[in-house]
Structure 1
Amino acid sequence: MAPPQSPVRRPGARDTGRPRDPAAGGAPARSPASLLGKRGPIVPRPSPRGVPRRGRRRRRTTGFPPRTRGMNVLFATQGKYGERIAEHIAANRPRGWEILRLPLRRNLPAVIDDPDAVLPAAIPAADLLVSLHESPGAAELIPDIAQRCRAAAVLAAVDDRAACPRGLENQIGKRLGGMGIAFAFARPLCGFDGGPHPLLSAFASLFGRPRVRIDADGDRVGRVTVERDCPCGAGGFVAKVLPGTRLSEAADTGALRHHHHPCMASMEVDPELSDTLMHLSGYIFRAAINAALKRK
């Protein structure tokens, strides 16, 4: 006689979620949890990178959203400080970036009632605005420039607190936030690490907090490779003067020599830091070199 059959579920009958009754004389029913590790993975194995499981190959992309791979960056400058930074980035920009410039008057008043009186009639469209202001008047124009160039994000350098006091920074931030524009105030600019917008992160991935790789030559620094330079180019400058330095002295030497680039951060004491922004930039370089020595 044939063994008893398992109960047959009618077509369309709803599954109650309970285990089926075991066949007479068979092994007791097991719960789903008891099957873990015994019947293979419950979720499908990941497919090879870039190839979906159904056989269609995914299109390879870079790490940044499409808008950041070909973006227009507008630099608002007011003197040699900003011009040097804009020139360095223009000379080392990746393919697809267009560098635009908006020179501002050096003698701008501290309070500007009519932006039309000091801004050009036509400002080129840009995705990212980088403000390299040198006075409160130029900093006050940041929201007006961002609106006219239709920027999605703003990076404002704070290398001199006198040019952008904390109260003014808060006012600018409120205006930009009300306009739906992402923004970051980098204090100092060489300490910027990205966010809170993909455009800002794309910029900082190439020009921001310095990152270097150091190859040792015995007890001395051998080759130094700049993996991420500062917006002003100080990282490349330090990389050229470090080789030959004792490894034990590399961090202090780099922090000192970066001032010779020269560093454009202020030597005035920042009340919030109880130190100068130039010293803070030196600490940033010391940290970058120490991190590289730990990785070697």
Structure 2
Amino acid sequence: MEIGVLYSGEFGKRFVSNLAYPDSCPHFGACGIDECDHCKAYDFSDRIVLVRELDEPASYGIYIEKPEEIVGKVECEILVAINLHPDIIAELPGIADVRSIIIPVEHPAWLSVGLREQVRRKCEEAGIKFYTPKPFCSSNTPLTNLGFGKPEFRVEMNGNVIERVEVVKSDPCGNAYYVARRMQGYEISDLREFWKEIHQHQCAYPCLASMERDAEIKEAPFHLAGYVMVYQFSRACGVDAESFVPEHMRRFVLE
């Protein structure tokens, strides 16, 4: 699996660092340099064949006449495009020699519904698989084969105490590992406090999904990421957390 990444902004840096330099997570506000126990026992740097940081979308102005000159040559199996100018996104199926394109939507401005459907049609015509998780941790993509997607855990309980937590699948930013470490040893006595604890650790990593409301999911991507994490971790502990998830969010979280 050959991975290429085109990105701008902090989330892109976090994503690349998590794949290639997993020990760097203390620098992002996680456990801290002195507390790091190197729990992320992986390194996918050999799978990354291209990383190109572009300028922030607004710096290019409203229109880009020749996106291909900015993007350059792109050849890989899976291309992850993070926070790019709309004109660049629109031309990716023609510019990139790829099998799959993943455009995560951590912020509503990263990919409008109209542009998403335009790119989807172009990908179908070119025989390219297209994924647009909103946010990145809310659904699975080809990166699931490396252990990244909607977070999953394996939890050993001793009565009501969380004795051991293993990350089966992490969100692409690596947040699941921090939640797993911090929740180990926690005693579940009150469900509301339990759910609050999970979410607080997710925020402390910190989660970089936007707090801006998204019209399609009717809440901020940040909130959806929180519901996903709490639900997935609770389920691994044998706790039914469906009641924690608002009715309008259940189709995104439970499916």
The residue number in structure 1 matching 2:212 is 268
Contact 1:77 1:133 in 2 (8 A): yes
Give the Å deviation of 1:222: 1.8
Distance in 1 (CA, whole Å) between partners of 2:196 and 2:89 is: 34
User: Equivalent residue for 1:151?
Assistant: 98
Larger Rg: 1
2: distance between equivalents of 1:225 and 1:112?
Answer: 45
Distance across 1 between alignment mates of 2:90 and 2:61: 10
TM-score with structure 2 length normalisation? 0.76
Tell me the residue number matched to 1:105. 55
Higher relative contact order (CA 8 A, sep 6+): 2
Unaligned 5+ runs, structure 2:
22-41, 240-255
Whose helix fraction is larger, Structure 1's or Structure 2's?
Answer: 2
- Is the Cα contact below 8 Å between 1:84 and 1:232 reproduced in 2? yes
2:218 aligned with 1:277: no
- Flag as ranges the 4+ runs of structure 1 deviating above 4 A: 93-96
- Native 8 Å contact 1:115 1:144 kept in 2: no
User: Shift in Å at residue 221 of structure 1?
Assistant: 1.8
Q: Deviations over 1:123-174 (max 9, x none)?
A: 252011011125535533432442xxx1011111011111211111111112
**Range moving further from structure 2, 235-244 or 216-225:** 216-225
Question: Structure 2: how far apart are the matches of 1:170 and 1:124?
Answer: 22
Match of 2:173 in 1: 232
User: How much has 1:238 moved relative to structure 2?
Assistant: 0.6
Contact (CA 8 Å) 2:152, 2:168: kept in 1 or not? yes
Question: Counterpart of 2:68?
Answer: 116
- Please give the alpha-carbon distance, in whole angstroms, between the structure 2 residues aligned to 1:93 and 1:111: 38
Q: Mind listing any 5+ residue stretches in structure 1 that lack a counterpart?
A: 1-70, 195-199
1:233 deviation in Å? 0.3
**Aligned with residue 186 of structure 2, among 245, 249, 252:** 245
Does 1:127 find its partner at 2:77?
yes
Q: Counterpart of 1:11?
A: none
The count of corresponding residues between Structure 1 and Structure 2 is: 213
| Aligned partner of 2:114 among 138, 158, 167 | 167
Percent of aligned positions with the same letter in both sequences? 25
1:1-296 equivalent positions in 2, closer than 5 A? 71-91=1-21, 92-93=42-43, 97-106=47-56, 107-120=59-72, 123-146=73-96, 150-194=97-141, 200=142, 203-205=143-145, 206-247=147-188, 248=191, 249-294=193-238
